[in-house]
Structures are given as C-alpha cells and as structure tokens.
Amino acid sequence: DSGVTQTPKHLITATGQRVTLRCSPRSGDLSVYWYQQSLDQGLQFLIQYYNGEERAKGNILERFSAQQFPDLHSELNLSSLELGDSALYFCASSPHSGGARNEQFFGPGTRLTVL
C-alpha cells in the first residue's frame, strides 16, 4: 500500500459526459501528479500540482482539468468524454515539487470506461 488513495476504482460512463476522479496523496506529500495509461501503453504525464498550485503540464487535453485543494487532495475533471478517453488514470504523490530524492508513489488507479 503506497498510501495514495484514489476513488472511484472503476467508472463507466457515456460519450459526452463529465466525470471527476479523486486522489488523496500520502500523508505529508505536497505534490500530486496525474497520469493516463491506455491499453498496453506506458504512462503519459498529464499535470502536476504542488501545494495547491499548478507546477507542470504534460499532454493534457483542453477537455481535462485538475485542481488541488487546501487539504492537498486533488481532482481530475474529464469532460465531453470520448471513446478514446477510456484508460487507467493514476495519481502519484511526492514530498516536494522537484529536486533530490523526490520519488513518486502511485495510487491504485481509476479505470475509466467510456461507452
């Protein structure tokens, strides 16, 4: 158990809908990262937040957005969903925003299926 929690575990929805994925980082970690993993693909970095502020952005679609709240939990919002958005979405956390010994620890993921 990495200490990172994600809800829900599974999510099934229809095209055009909007969903929210939730992540709670490990106790004491200030950074949260979101990744997308499609079938048989590697992990694609989406976005990073550190202590409530956006710190780095990857290949995140404009239909997707995220935020980190004062209690450090984070939410990833996916809107106008398309079939191709079906994937595993992982959240990871680390103690700092960058720098030395800043390993990322992953949550169990949310499997999103868009029908």
Q: Phi then psi for 69, rounded to 5 degrees?
A: -90, 165
Pick between residue 4 and residue 66 the one whose CB is nearest to another protein. Answer: 4
Looking at this protein, which amino acid is placed at residue 24? S
User: Which window, 14-22, 68-76, 78-86, 107-115, contacts another protein (CB under 8 A)?
Assistant: 107-115
The residues, ordered by sequence, that sit 6+ positions from 79 with a Cβ below 8 Å of its Cβ are 18, 63, 64, 65
- CB 105, CB 92: distance < 8 Å: yes
Per-residue contact flags (x/-) with another protein for residues 22 to 41, judged by CB under 8 A: -----------x-------x
Q: Is 36 exposed, middle or buried (0-12, 13-18, 19+ CB in 10 A)?
A: buried
Residues 41-100, interacting with another protein (CB under 8 A): 41-45, 48, 50, 55-56, 58, 88, 90, 92, 97-100
Closest CB to another protein among residues 50, 64: 50
Is residue 21 a contact residue for another protein (CB under 8 A)?
A: no
